[in-house]
Amino acid sequence: MSDLEQFSGLIGDIYDASLDPTLWPPVFEKAAAFVGASAAWLGSQEIVGSAANFYYSWGSDAQFEQLYVEKYCKLNPVFPTATFFSIEQVYDVPDCIPREEFCRTRFAKEWLAPQGWVDGLLVNLDKTATSCASFVVFRHLSQGFADDETRRRFTLVVPHLRRALAIGQVIDLKKVEAARLADSLDTLSSAMFLVDANGRIVHANLNGHLMLSEGNVLRAGGGKLATTDGQADQALLDALTSSGCGDAAVGRKGIALPVKARDGTRYVANVLPLTCGARREAGVSYSAVATVFVHKAVLDLASPPEAIAREFNLTPSELRVLFAIIDIGGVPEVADVLGVSEATVKTHLHHVFEKTGAGRQVDLVKLVAGYSNALLR
């Protein structure tokens, strides 16, 4: 199988998994093979407190996954710096912490090394003010460090994963029969439309009809789906046109497309192509090339680490020590976890005290709590 055939098949499988979440593990296996990795997983981590969840994985040991959730998520030195990267921005360990320093940490010695993993690539697929959802592929010792080709292939897959997972969230991650797509999605709280390559609506669910009748976000002039936001309207049409050319042609078009309503409210549109895979039957049945989901946007706020680092001009090392002090404990415990001397931790902590104006460790806890609670007001 050529690289192009392998990639096209993988993208089709990714979009099929958006309708049937049981397909994600075999999709991750194919993604790892295409990228050149030995394992892949999708999970999320709380930014404050570091609680973690695994959603789907392939190639990793369930026991080590459980150990990560129970213990090592709090010891992962990649956090909280990892939360600073933009959605779809690919990064690796050296982008967060020097590799030599990383290798000295308990996380690297006790969690990564026993599994034979030597490197990985990461990407944030979703972020909120309190958590970060990431897709990660791991390279085995026999594969060596990720090179430019590994990163290139990983970057190609990322936008399709993000789109499929976003749509999975819209339909509440329930299994949907692709051939009966319209019937399956008629009960969605989001507006849903089946459209052809020209944007003509061939089916809309109840909330879709309601949104059109209100005319605040969407309109249907001449039977074609359009937004009341001129800029978003052209982007939506581009995504629909690309959908007619196959899954891979869509790329980043139509992923979380921002739409501004007439009253200023923010909405998001997601486009799922219907020209390949198990979804092709639905596309043929409805003479449609894509499904468009439209729903209200979630408020975009900076995470506590980002806000604190920006406000007090903290370096990544200082921020790492700050949150380690909060999540793990005192100086000796943090030094052990990070694989550095107590003197180094004390130096970073002194700088944190100096920059934030805090006098004690308890003041740092209150500082972070204050930024976290502000997000809930």
- pLDDT value of position 181: 67
* Average pLDDT score over residue span 324-338: 83
Q: How far, in Å, CA of 368 to CA of 307, rounded?
A: 10
Give the residue, 171 or 147, on which the prediction is more confident: 147
Give the residue, 373 or 4, on which the prediction is more confident: 4
pLDDT band at 178 (very low <50, low <70, confident <90, very high): low
CATH topology of domain 3-170: Beta-Lactamase (3.30.450)
Q: What is the pTM of this model?
A: 0.72
* Average pLDDT score over residue span 71-97: 89
CATH of 304-374, one of 3.30.565.10, 3.20.20.70, 1.10.10.10, 3.40.50.1820: 1.10.10.10
pLDDT at 334 over 70: yes
Cβ atoms of 131 and 47 within 8 Å: the answer is: yes
> Nearest to residue 150, comparing CAs of 32, 42, 284, 242?
32
Cβ atoms of 168 and 21 within 8 Å: the answer is: yes
Give the residue, 279 or 182, on which the prediction is more confident: 279
Highest mean pLDDT among 147-156, 175-184, 265-274 belongs to 147-156
* Average pLDDT score over residue span 80-105: 89
Q: Where are the alpha helices (DSSP H) in 217-330?
A: 230-243, 247-250, 280-286, 304-312, 316-327
The DSSP call for residue 221 is G
Check for a shared fold between 3-170 and 178-296. Answer: yes
- pLDDT value of position 113: 94
Q: How far, in Å, CA of 154 to CA of 88, rounded?
A: 10
The DSSP call for residue 291 is E
* Average pLDDT score over residue span 71-98: 89
- pLDDT value of position 49: 63
Task: Give the start-to-end residue ranges of the domains of the chain.
Answer: 3-170, 178-296, 304-374
- pLDDT value of position 374: 46
pLDDT band at 302 (very low <50, low <70, confident <90, very high): low
- pLDDT value of position 129: 66
Could you report the per-residue pLDDT of 207-226, keeping only the tens digit for each?
899 999 999 999 998 899 99
CATH 2.60.40 at 178-296, yes or no:
no
- pLDDT value of position 66: 93
pLDDT band at 57 (very low <50, low <70, confident <90, very high): very high
Angle of helix 361-374 relative to helix 342-356, nearest 10 degrees, comes to 60
- pLDDT value of position 81: 85
> Nearest to residue 274, comparing CAs of 172, 157, 209, 180?
180
Lowest mean pLDDT among 10-24, 51-65, 191-205, 269-283: 269-283
pLDDT at 4 over 70: yes
pLDDT at 179 over 80: no
pLDDT band at 377 (very low <50, low <70, confident <90, very high): very low
pLDDT at 1 over 60: no
- Quote the percentage of the chain above a pLDDT of 70: 86
Per the prediction, the chain carries an average pLDDT of 84
* Average pLDDT score over residue span 309-317: 85
- pLDDT value of position 376: 39
Lowest mean pLDDT among 6-10, 54-58, 59-63, 214-218: 6-10
pLDDT at 254 over 70: no
Give the residue, 275 or 355, on which the prediction is more confident: 355
Q: How far, in Å, CA of 134 to CA of 45, rounded?
A: 8
pLDDT at 173 over 60: no
- pLDDT value of position 306: 76
